[in-house]
Structure 1
Amino acid sequence: MTIAPGSADQGASHMYRAMRDFVQSVDDTLPGKFEITKEGIVHDMMSPVKQHELTVLRLRKRLEKAMPEEIVAHTGEPDVEGAYEGVLRRPDVMVIAEEDMEGEGTFDPRTVLAAVEIVSRSNPDNDWIAKTRDYPLLGIPVYAVFDPRTGSGAVFTDIHSTPDGPRYATRKDFVYGEDVTIGEWTIATNGLPRYRDEDADGAAS
């Protein structure tokens, strides 16, 4: 089949808009969280377990204590959107200047200084694999992963070009109890909760 110049990009853009319209139409009516990746829509129907949410809270407080007042560690909505890349994500924590949160619509990924994710029990590949692809594609310079399953994590930095697209060139692993540097700010990781065997699966957030 012959494809006219530019028609493939137009088709991809149309598909993204269709997925985005669907996500917007069901986001407040169906349980769980919806995100859009290069592979399609990610829908997590599970609710986050306490350890996941407590980790989000403690990391947010520690980051904001270390950062200047004009920089915040934001949790929740709105999403980070790269329409051209066809990606719509909602990090557990977004490090961003307060002034860049003003206005309407989604966050511009170019204003996000760092994204932080807490690995879920139900879909760890979403955090460890898919987002290490999506976040450099969006141009987010720092991506930090905290994994309550293992009590460890990693910080990804230094976006560079590869045959498969932008990827992080540097990965620094850590274990809970060590200090970790996210962007320009160093925080402690002691006292972060771990998942327990009897816990129900958490969210793929």
Structure 2
Amino acid sequence: MRDVLRSMADTLPGKFEITGEGIVHDLISPNGHHELTRLLLRRRLEKVMPDALLAHNGTPVLEDEPESILRHPDVMVITWENLDTEGSIDPRDVLAAIEVVSRSNPDNDWVGKVRDYALMGIPVYAVFDPRTGTGAVFTDTHPTPAGPRYATRKDFVYGEDVTIADWTIPTRGLPLYGPTK
């Protein structure tokens, strides 16, 4: 599947990921509000994290070869040392994954990534939804017959402070998506 993904990525617009269910193609590129939210979250996290950690929002991707999952979080908290790698990042080196919900494919962030990030061993997954001004932080993975799942979900609304792993950041001033044209 990885080879198919590489060939499509060079010819089709959008972002591609591999899940347990197949290839996810987010056809629409992130808009300005999505990108601004990503950057604000990264900056706010880096203000409260120790210098040994980075809130990274670029490449490379996270890849769990045994689970056949390849994901590209909007922001991931990782050590500088673990970012210094050839190829993809081992998801077990990621302390937290953060997603800004896509207007075009919200189930990818609210359903697919909740499942996949737990399977990949990521201890904390935070979702920010500019469609509604709400979000949730998922923690405490536990085994289930379908594989690891997050046991705890803490919902928040924009304007509240939110704790992601050991770091608390404000959500005031995060942009919301406007009406669809």
TM-score computed with the length of structure 1 as normaliser: 0.86
Residue of structure 1 equivalent to 2:72? 90
- 1:147-191 per-position Cα deviation (integer Å, ceiling 9, x unaligned): 001101000000001122110000000000100000110000000
Paired amino acid for 2:38: V
Q: CA–CA distance in 2 between the matches of 1:121 and 1:104? A: 32
- Following superposition, the deviation at residue 25 of structure 1 comes to 2.4
Percent identity among equivalent residues?
68
CA contact (8 A) 2:15 2:29 kept: no
- 1:179 equivalenced with 2:161 (yes/no): yes
In structure 2, the partner of 1:119 is 101
* Equivalence for 1:76: 58
Give the CA deviation at 1:106: 0.2
Any stretches of 5+ residues in structure 2 without a counterpart? none
Which of 193, 198, 205 does residue 175 from structure 2 map onto?
Answer: 193
Instruction: Give the alignment partner of residue 3 of structure 2, picking from 21, 29, 42.
Output: 21
* Matched ranges for 1:1-205 at <5 A: 19-198=1-180
For residue 158 of structure 1, what is the amino acid of its counterpart?
A: D
User: For 2:140, what is the secondary structure of its paired residue?
Assistant: strand
Quick one: distance in 2 between partners of 1:76 and 1:117?
Answer: 13
* C-alpha distance in structure 2 between counterparts of 1:56 and 1:126, whole Å: 17
Question: Secondary structure in 2 aligned to 1:156?
Answer: strand
Secondary structure in structure 2 of the residue aligned to 1:173: strand
Q: CA deviation at 1:103?
A: 2.2
Q: Deviations over 1:66-94 (max 9, x none)?
A: 10111000012111000000100000001
How many residues align structurally? 181
Give the distance between the partners of 2:80 and 2:172, measured in 1 at CA: 27
Cα pair 2:33 2:176 within 8 Å, conserved: yes
- SS across alignment from 2:63: strand
Structure 1 residue runs of 4+, over 4 Å off? none
Q: What's the CA shift string for 1:7-37, capped at 9, x where partnerless? A: xxxxxxxxxxxx1011122323321111000
Question: How many Å separate the matches in 2 of 1:71 and 1:24?
Answer: 30
The 2-side partners of 1:25 and 1:121 are apart by 26
Q: Secondary structure at the match of 2:95?
A: strand
Larger Rg: 1
**Paired residues of 2:62 and 2:70 also in contact (CA < 8 A):** yes
User: Which consecutive unaligned segments of at least 5 residues does structure 1 have?
Assistant: 1-18, 200-205
Structure 2 counterpart of 1:175, one-letter code: V
**Superposition deviation, residue 45 in structure 1:** 1.5
Deviation, 1:142, is: 0.1
